[in-house]
Amino acid sequence: MEIKEALGVVEAILFASGEPIELRHLSEASGIETETLPSVIQLLNDRYDGCGSGICIKRLENSYQMCTRTEFAPYIRAALETKKTTPLSAAAMEALTIIAYNQPVSKGFVENIRGIDSSSVVNNLVEKGLVEEAGRLDVPGKPIVYRTTSNFLRSFGLNSIADLPPLPGHSEQTSMLELDDTDTAE
């Protein structure tokens, strides 16, 4: 294997992994001898240093991991905080409420209640860490079911799902509708 190819192979494996990879496993996956890998990784780090890259490869005991450079941490933190603190849309809040009160539920269940395709909304909630997969239903097609996460509880100041406020009963909803009617009659 040529050095250019070896650099690309190691870089791709480390990038795709996202986690530390033991030297032995990196050697097996790349087909590069364990004795050669440290010099390949050093060449990658030299390349990153030479172009001012925000990426480096760190050695962690007998493993290697692709990381961002510490000097870029404030920028990364700001980008991730912005993503985390983006308020939920009305559609996302509606889907999250349906999941929280009825969990575990499938996307189809959420869609039936909302009356609209909710795949992207549920996927967004999963991406934000508020909802997670909780298995599959034992019905044809075996759809994935979703439940709320500990991040959901933390975000909404709850200790458990039992702390969710009760849903208004049918009589409460009717009286609320009557109040709305009297307000508009004036």
Q: What are the tens digits of pLDDT across the range 21-66?
A: 999 999 999 999 999 999 999 999 999 999 999 999 998 878 899 9
What angle, rounded to 10 degrees, do the helices at 37-50 and 3-17 form?
A: 80
Whole-number pLDDT of residue 159: 82
Query: pTM for the full model?
Result: 0.49
Check residue 109 and give left, alpha or beta (phi > 0: left; psi -120 to 50: alpha): alpha
Q: What are the tens digits of pLDDT across the range 102-161?
A: 999 999 999 999 999 989 999 999 998 899 999 998 889 899 999 999 888 888 877 888
